[in-house]
Amino acid sequence: MARILVVDDEMGIRELLSEILRDEGHDVTLAENAAAARNARLSARPDLVLLDIWMPDTDGITLLKEWASGGQLTMPVIMMSGHGTIDSAVEATRIGALDFLEKPIALAKLLSSVKRALIRSAPAEQRPAAPSLTGVTRSGPLRDLRRRLEQMASRSRIIMLRCGPSSFAELAARTLAVPGRRWIELAGIPGAITQEQLDAARGGVIHAGDIGTLSRMQQKNLAFAVDRLERLDAKLIASCAQPLAELQAAGGWDDALLSRLFDVVLPLPTLAELRDEIGDLADDVLKHLADAGEIPVRALAESARPLLRQHPWPGGYAELVSALRSAALATLDDDLDASALRALLRPAGNAALPGLNQPLRDAREAFERLYFEHHMEREGGNMTRLAERSGLERTHLYRKLKQLGLPVGRRTEHQD
């Protein structure tokens, strides 16, 4: 439960927001103007403020500036306005507002914004854990991959994950995160790393990311960290999408450092090689996005699973996360079905021979989906004409479309 201050000069809006937020379990304080908001800020010590821009005594932007300049902007602030402009939103964000909601405020947008603000303002130990293979419990291959990682980490302080671009290397690396211990992102440190920063990783994990993307300074930081792992009782997890020979040929790397980094190597499968595991990964992604307040709670419908399994995933894990986030924000249903994902996963251009690099079963399914999508669009979704066109009996046709995760009976179902 959080303490939330709602500042708005319209009684109806104050009461509506209060009712919604109290139903979510929050403690809500109301203020009708800037003067009341100042008093409530001092007495209630809110965890979050919902602040209207247009108020009769002092507008919300001015009050936000006042709090920022006086050192009182210690809580996240979400601005609200029924007459919002881009300039107002930009100005509020520049001053320190976390988000900007336009009235009338959609319920899902309100709750998502509030949840995101409270998560970001919470202490690090109270924030949802980052996604890792630990959360994927039903997939045998991914469980085995996790066990291999843990076994290697029990004997080596450095693990190199060999992978392709846009892989799920960080997801795998996060599996070795130690509860209650620090996780240090080496690529997030722009300057020279200090001993104090490394000491914070004592007993934890230093994540180097893809070493092929590191700057010269970050390479020096990496060498500095590698030399101190034993003293810190820490692990270092790195990944690389390039062959070792390419890194050596490019120059700039110390051969002794590369030798240590590549001493223990674990090749990672591509997402396309884990087709049967995509549904489990998607379930975990949706859970973490919802826990982080980035999307409303969504469940993956059965009709979406064949679509995810047959997609070639040229963009890897990043493409999966992006597609799920976009579809979850756009759909109005609780379940994320094939129709919500199909347009996002449609390949660019008109590939005449899809799936040539896939196993025969997957290539056949990819072709069948392309075939039926083409003729369903051509026939306007009319099942009678589609059955005639495909030469399938209606019952068999319905079963096939369901198996492929395609919608049945659209628009002109009863037209001949």
Q: Examine the domain organization and report whether 106 and 139 are in the same domain.
A: no
Length of the chain: 416
Domain that holds residue 303: 272-345
Q: Which of the listed ranges 230-234, 295-299, 335-339, 386-390 does the model predict with the highest average pLDDT?
A: 230-234
CA 192 to chain centroid, in Å, comes to 29
Instruction: Give the pLDDT of residue 348.
Output: 47
Quickly state the pLDDT bin for 315 (edges 50, 70, 90).
confident
Q: Half-sphere exposure (CA, 13 Å, Cβ side) for 346?
A: 10
Q: Examine the domain organization and report whether 222 and 328 are in the same domain.
A: no
Phi, psi of 414 (to 5 degrees): -105, 20
Give the containing element (helix H, strand E) for 334: none
Name which residue leads in pLDDT, 378 or 76: 76
Q: How many CB atoms lie within 10 A of CB 363?
A: 16
pLDDT digits (tens, 9 = 90+) for 55-75: 888 899 999 999 988 778 888
Give, in order, the Cα–Cα distances in Å from 22 to each of 2, 30, 57, 112, 114: 10, 12, 27, 15, 13
Q: Examine the domain organization and report whether 207 and 318 are in the same domain.
A: no
Q: What is the CATH number of the domain that holds 309?
A: 1.10.8.60
Instruction: Give the pLDDT of residue 82.
Output: 80
Instruction: Give the pLDDT of residue 351.
Output: 46
Q: Examine the domain organization and report whether 245 and 309 are in the same domain.
A: no
Q: Examine the domain organization and report whether 187 and 165 are in the same domain.
A: yes
Helices 34-44 and 60-69 sit at what angle, rounded to 10 degrees? Answer: 40
Quickly state the pLDDT bin for 12 (edges 50, 70, 90).
very high
Least confident of 12-21, 254-263, 340-349: 340-349
Q: Examine the domain organization and report whether 17 and 73 are in the same domain.
A: yes
Residue where one domain finishes, among candidates 126, 146, 171: 126
Q: Examine the domain organization and report whether 79 and 8 are in the same domain.
A: yes
Mean pLDDT of 17-22: 94
Q: Examine the domain organization and report whether 139 and 261 are in the same domain.
A: yes
Q: Examine the domain organization and report whether 44 and 119 are in the same domain.
A: yes
For the chain, the distance separating the N- and C-terminal CA atoms, rounded to the nearest angstrom, is 58
Phi, psi of 335 (to 5 degrees): -95, 140
Q: What is the CATH number of the domain that holds 198?
A: 3.40.50.300
Give the containing element (helix H, strand E) for 376: helix 360-378
Q: What is the CATH number of the domain that holds 383?
A: 1.10.10.60
Question: How many separate domains does the chain show?
Answer: 4
pLDDT digits (tens, 9 = 90+) for 258-300: 999 999 999 999 888 888 899 999 999 998 888 777 788 899 9
Q: What is the CATH number of the domain that holds 20?
A: 3.40.50.2300
Quickly state the pLDDT bin for 128 (edges 50, 70, 90).
low
- Is the Cβ–Cβ distance between 97 and 115 less than 8 Å? no
Residue where one domain finishes, among candidates 329, 345, 361: 345
Q: Please tell me the pTM assigned to this model.
A: 0.58
**Residue 164 neighbours by CB under 8 Å, 6+ apart:** 241, 270, 316
Quickly state the pLDDT bin for 354 (edges 50, 70, 90).
low
Q: Examine the domain organization and report whether 232 and 154 are in the same domain.
A: yes
Q: Examine the domain organization and report whether 146 and 225 are in the same domain.
A: yes
Q: Examine the domain organization and report whether 163 and 260 are in the same domain.
A: yes
Written as six digits, the tokens of 341 are 């994902």
With b for 16 or more beta-carbon neighbours within 10 A and e for fewer, the 36-56 pattern comes to bbbebbeebebbbbbbbbbbe
Residue where one domain finishes, among candidates 345, 373, 402: 345
For the cut 60, the answer to whether the pLDDT of residue 352 exceeds it is no
